[in-house]
Each structure stands twice: as structure tokens, then as C-alpha cells.
């Protein structure tokens, strides 16, 4: 996520995702009809989700489940809650999940779900009723061999526990493999909570190797200090990188001498924001991506780096922890300026990789140690990074185009081999 068409695409993630596929289609010897299939989701479900609120009022929420492509395996992707959730966003995220699983060579396709709501204004009981009703509405199209949801923005292991329980009650059998990202007690995998961030930091380490950049003492700015941003920050510190800035929806902080990532996380857990962390200077949220740092980890939401601010980006290496933080036009400028960017469909694929490990453990009814999980994740991330990097060098393209070439090529190959039915 090379050139960008004008108009609404800059703010429409699904059009961006389709455009990214078009870019690599020109470089791949693939039937144009197959490309058209890959550009569209296989199934889109929109449901009304009525629940009784704590005050007795009946409210109807809008929910989505998009199943993009299952040529390589069951649909896989998270469910997010938020007031800004919309169909184009969910379609884009489902498309990127297909790309992500193909880049990692995991036998999954892509899916995504979402509910339009404001979870920060809802009680735990209301969120449970919302989740269970939504699960009931989509239960006919999900399942351990059909479509496996996972946590995403504003959802967590507890949300997955409610989905698993509702699905299991509906089907009359306990089925932990219907979702991933569950609590450990219900069959969740050790290492899953930090998996996305561990993948981000592995990519940062490999990027340093191929570019000749130093790692020890390298400065890092992190946008978004949720699960991915926070864990990426402290894992980077374990490699002796220096986290100098971070942000959340409330504010951004900066200290050129470095921040203690874990203490900032503890501060946010107590206060609800990183803003006001002792010993830091407050800076505008949108200026974090413009700081003169060695590494930038965008871990917030889509469209953080666009045509309007890309010329002000100073980071030498960008590792995308979030989905879709960079627009195609900005990609081209960064590449031209010599910035090395590891795209989302590779950089943040650690999460879905360990979700795959969790699913395998559930199907086999076994548990792996955290060390086993981390060793397997490391091997897959390093292999995928260098497969993408080799294509980038050979084809003289940036890493995102290389990643999409790898992903679309793998999906198209399976679709051509399987053929069309009927």
C-alpha cells in the first residue's frame, strides 16, 4: 500500500487495496480474470445487531463480516469495534489479510469483521450481549474450517471467549478452534499477546541487517500505544534501541534521551493516556511521524503517512505495525527519498502467524511452550522477510510492491490450479 489515482482513493482503504493489486498485476503473468476475482471479496455480510442496554433501552447496532478469499484455506481475520467502522474499511482489511497470510505462506485466506459502536461508552455487560448477538448472526458462516475470527481494535481475549462460548453453545460442542486470541485457559496460545509486536521488531532487526543500519542505540518513534505499539516499544528496548517518542489518541510525548517503554505503558494503564508522562515533552500527535529518528513504527490506524505529510517524514526505516498506515502516493515518495519501508502485510504478520499456531494447537488439542511458539514465529518471519526482500532487489521495486507480488502470485497460482466450479 506506487502511484496513486486522484479523487477519493486517498481516504478509501478498499480502493487503495485494489490499487495495490493492480500495481503488481502489471508485473505478474496472471490471467486478468483471476486478478479481478482477487480484487473483490467473495462474501459480504451486513447484519443488524439488536441488544438490550443496561438502562432497558433497545438499541440496534450495525455489524459486518467480510470474507475476501479462501483459495488457500479458511478465511481468517479480526473483529473490531468502533464508531468509525465502515464497510470499505472492513473490505480493505479482509483483502490485506489475504495478502498477509499468503506472504507468510500460511494456509488461510483473508476475512475481517466489525461493529459500529463506541465501546468506551458501553459497560462490560452490554459488550457481552453485543458480542454474543453478533456471533449468533454470523454463526452460519464462521467455523474452525470456514472462518476463524480474532481480536482487533477494541476487542480482546474476553471478546473471543464470548464468541467461542456462543458458537459452541449454538453448535452443541465445545470448539476452541473457532476463534484465536483467546484466554490461555480456553486454549489460547502462549506468546500470542506480543506476537504482532515481536514480528515488527524481528523485521526491524532484519531491515537493519540488509540496510547496514545500526540497531543498538538506534532511535525509535512509535505511533499508537495500544497492544502493538506498547509491546513493540519494549521489545525494541530489549534490542537496546532507544524509544524517544510515542503517541495515542489523547496526545504524544517526546524525550530525546529515551523513554522507559514499560513505565510509559504502566502510566497509560493508570491514566488512560501517555500524555503527561513525567520527564517527557508534549508534542502534537501528527508530528510523531515527522521526527528525525532511525526507526518509525506506525502502530495506530490507516492513513498516517499521506501525500500531505510524507515529505516531512525523516525516519530512515519504517516498520508498519498498523494496517494501511501509508498511502500508495506516499509509498512512492518514501522509496524515492531512500526510506526503507517494511509493509504491513509482512511487518505485522506475527499476529496472524501465532493465531495459526493457536488454531493448530486447538485442532490437535495440545499446547506448545512459549519458547516453541517464539522459535517458530522467528523462523517464519525471517523467511518471509528475505523472500520479499529478494523480490524487491530482483525487480527493483519497494518492499510493499514486492510483498504484494509474492502474495498475489501465490493466491493466483492456487486459484489457477484449482480452476472454476462449476
Residues labelled catalytic: 112
For residue 87, how many other CB atoms are within 10 A of its CB? Answer: 16
Q: Which residues of 143-171 are buried (b: 16+ CB within 10 A; e: fewer)?
A: bbeebbbbbbbbbebebbbbbbbbbeeee
Looking at beta carbons, which pairs linking 14-17 to residues 24 or more positions away fall under 8 Å?
14/88, 14/89, 14/91, 14/92, 14/95, 15/88, 16/92, 16/324, 16/327, 16/328, 17/91, 17/92, 17/95, 17/96, 17/324
DSSP summary character for residue 367: -
What are the start-end ranges of the E strands in 119-203? 147-151
**DSSP code, position 115:** E
Q: Describe the crossing of helices 399-418 and 370-395 by its angle, rounded to 10 degrees.
A: 100
Distance from C-alpha of 196 to C-alpha of 200, rounded to nearest angstrom? 6
Task: Please enumerate in sequence order all residues whose Cβ is within 8 A of that of 396, keeping only pairs 6 or more positions apart, or say none.
Answer: none
CB atoms within 10 A of CB 266: 13
The C-alpha atoms of residue 351 and residue 17 are separated, in whole angstroms, by 20
CA nearest to 62, candidates 121, 13, 114: 114
Q: Is 45 exposed, middle or buried (0-12, 13-18, 19+ CB in 10 A)?
A: middle
Cβ contact 102:179 at 8 Å: no
| Cβ(234)–Cβ(354) below 8 Å | no
DSSP string, 265-328: HHHHHHHSSSTT-TT-EEE-GGGGGGS--SEEEE-S-S-SB-TTTGGG---SEEE--SSS-B-H
Amino acid at each position: 500500500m506506487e502511484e496513486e489515482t486522484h479523487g477519493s482513493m486517498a481516504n478509501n482503504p478498499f480502493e487503495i487495496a485494489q490499487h495495490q493489486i493492480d500495481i503488481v498485476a502489471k508485473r505478474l503473468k496472471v490471467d486478468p480474470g483471476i486478478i479481478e476475482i482477487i480484487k473483490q471479496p467473495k462474501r459480504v455480510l451486513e447484519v443488524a445487531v439488536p441488544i438490550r442496554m443496561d438502562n432497558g433501552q433497545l438499541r440496534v447496532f450495525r455489524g459486518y463480516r467480510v470474507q475476501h478469499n479462501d483459495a488457500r484455506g479458511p478465511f481468517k481475520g479480526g473483529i473490531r469495534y468502533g464508531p468509525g467502522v465502515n464497510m470499505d474499511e472492513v473490505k480493505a482489511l479482509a483483502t490485506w489479510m489475504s495478502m498477509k497470510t499468503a506472504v507468510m505462506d500460511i494456509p488461510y485466506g483473508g476475512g475481517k469483521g466489525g461493529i459500529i459502536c463506541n465501546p468506551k461508552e458501553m459497560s462490560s455487560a452490554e459488550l457481552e450481549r453485543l458480542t454474543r448477538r453478533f456471533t449468533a448472526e454470523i454463526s452460519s458462516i464462521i467455523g474452525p474450517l470456514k472462518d476463524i475470527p480474532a481480536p482487533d481494535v477494541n476487542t480482546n481475549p474476553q471478546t473471543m471467549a464470548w464468541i467461542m462460548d456462543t458458537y459452541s453453545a449454538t453448535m452443541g460442542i465445545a470448539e476452541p478452534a473457532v476463534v484465536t486470541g483467546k484466554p490461555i485457559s480456553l486454549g489460547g496460545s502462549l506468546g500470542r499477546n506480543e506476537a504482532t509486536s515481536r514480528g515488527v521488531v524481528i523485521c526491524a532487526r532484519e531491515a537493519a541487517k540488509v540496510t547496514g543500519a545500526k540497531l543498538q542505540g538506534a532511535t525509535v518513534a512509535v505511533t499508537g500505544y495500544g497492544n502493538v505499539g506498547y509491546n513493540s516499544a519494549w521489545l525494541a528496548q530489549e534490542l537496546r534501541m532507544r524509544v524517544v517518542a510515542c503517541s495515542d489518541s489523547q496526545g504524544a510525548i517526546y524525550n530525546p534521551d529515551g523513554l522507559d517503554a514499560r513505565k510509559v505503558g504502566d502510566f497509560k494503564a493508570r491514566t488512560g493516556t501517555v500524555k503527561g508522562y513525567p520527564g517527557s515533552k508534549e508534542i502534537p500527535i501528527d508530528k510523531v511521524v515527522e521526527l528525525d529518528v532511525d526507526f518509525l513504527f506506525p502502530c495506530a490506524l490507516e492513513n498516517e503517512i499521506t501525500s500531505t505529510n510524507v515529505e516531512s517524514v525523516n525516519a530512515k526505516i519504517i516498520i508498519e505495525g498498523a494496517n494501511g498506515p501509508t498511502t500508495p502516493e506516499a509509498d512512492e515518495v518514501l522509496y524515492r527519498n531512500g526510506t526503507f519501508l517494511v509493509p504491513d502485510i509482512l511487518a505485522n504478520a506475527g499476529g496472524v502467524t501465532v493465531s495459526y499456531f493457536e488454531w493448530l494447537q486447538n485442532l490437535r488439542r495440545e499446547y506448545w511452550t512459549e519458547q516453541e511458539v517464539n522459535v517458530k514465529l522467528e523462523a517464519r518471519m525471517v523467511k518471509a522477510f528475505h523472500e520479499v526482500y529478494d523480490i524487491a532487489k530482483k525487480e527493483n521495486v519497494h518492499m510493499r510492491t514486492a510483498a504484494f507480488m509474492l502474495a498475489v502470485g501465490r493466491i493466483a497460482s492456487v486459484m489457477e490450479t484449482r480452476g472454476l466450479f462449476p
